[in-house]
Structure 1
Amino acid sequence: MKASPRHQAAAIYGTIISGSVMAAAPQDSVLTVVVLVLVTVFVYWLAERYADLLGAYAHGHHLTRADVRHSFSEGLPLIRASYAPLIVLIAAALLGADTRTALTIAMGFTIAWLFLMGYIAGRRRGVTGWPHVIVTGAAGLFGIVLMILKLALH
């Protein structure tokens, strides 16, 4: 099934949030980082969904339970987007990497993942040439900025 534009946007946003938390997280424990990422992504998801519902309500829409359920499910890609970087983080730690190295590996994956999402978005739109390079690079640039943040903080 092809992702809707809202699902794709939520997935990119969730990946950026996960990377941001990993960049700023203390490097003392992988478990701490995992909990921080999951809690932060959950709060962002909840806030985004609340804002979506409040905006609809403020514009006169009568919200049913089905509308609320639909709104919350529309944002689930934001949460799911945190899984892949966290799986990489946990796998690196289980394979013997210390927390700092595991975070660096997970951040590297996050950068690659963002480039890939930008590439896929461009392909779906049929973009080619320099415009496709720009679309791909813009998505990946978020990850590069997060890695710079990580290096500056730690």
Structure 2
Amino acid sequence: MTTHDGSAQSEPRRDPLGLVTGGEGAITGTVVCAAAIAYGAGHVKSTAELCFAIVGTVAVYWLAHVHAVTLGSSLTHRHHPIAAFRHALVETVPILGASIVPLLVLIVGRLAGAEMRTAAWIALGATIALLTIYSYLAGVRGGLDTSGRIASAAAGAALGILVALLKVALH
């Protein structure tokens, strides 16, 4: 794309939250979201409180990640802190974006009449499904054959199942 003066203009991002192209951030954000659901569901009284706990946990983790990426970029690549910060914001937005699907699943479950515990389990199941899908897609994009893709998906599912086991252990 070019502007009216002939200079290059970047294409608009088709995946602004990085849910498809986010890589590490999408995985990290999904796991953090799952952990917040696993812990918070047994300790809050309302859907609003659980949503706040999830969003708050993911946001704090994201801020820590923004800080880490900013410092790492400045130290490793000698980027100016403002340039490093801008890079970090773009690089880490998938951590935030990854919480949207599980939050929607939780809210829709509650609106459909599910009890808090049931809706939390459904949302946790959605995070396991997302981790499985992300891992399978990584295998596809990495050029793995079918068995490698399945193994990659199983590794993602196992990570989600570990979080589910955490939920069982905490409640």
TM-score w.r.t. length of structure 1 = 0.90
| Regions of 4+ moved over 4 Å | none
Aligned with residue 93 of structure 1, among 92, 104, 110: 110
Q: Rg larger in 1 or in 2?
A: 2
Once the two structures are aligned, what percentage of the paired residues are identical?
Answer: 36
Contact 2:71 2:81 in 1 (8 A): no
Secondary structure of the residue aligned to 1:7 is coil
Q: Deviations over 1:84-126 (max 9, x none)?
A: 0000000000111111111011111111111111111111112
Secondary structure of the residue aligned to 2:22 is helix
Q: In structure 2, list runs of 5 or more residues that go unmatched.
A: 1-13
Determine the structure 2 residue equivalent to 1:10.
Answer: 25
Aligned with residue 128 of structure 1, among 136, 142, 145: 145
Establish whether residue 24 from structure 1 lines up as the match of residue 33 from structure 2: no
Determine the structure 2 residue equivalent to 1:141.
Answer: 158
Whole-Å separation in 2 of the counterparts to 1:9 and 1:60: 20
Contact 1:6 1:74 in 2 (8 A): no
Whole-Å separation in 2 of the counterparts to 1:24 and 1:89: 14
Q: 1:129 Cα shift?
A: 3.3
Amino acid at match of 2:35: S
Q: In structure 1, list runs of 5 or more residues that go unmatched.
A: none
TM-score w.r.t. length of structure 2 = 0.82
Whole-Å separation in 1 of the counterparts to 2:134 and 2:120: 21
Higher relative contact order (CA 8 A, sep 6+): 1
Q: Deviations over 1:16-68 (max 9, x none)?
A: 00000100112522111111111111111111111111123334614153432
Point out the structure with the larger helix share: 1
- How many residue pairs get aligned? The number is 154
Whole-Å separation in 2 of the counterparts to 1:89 and 1:132: 29
Secondary structure of the residue aligned to 2:144 is coil
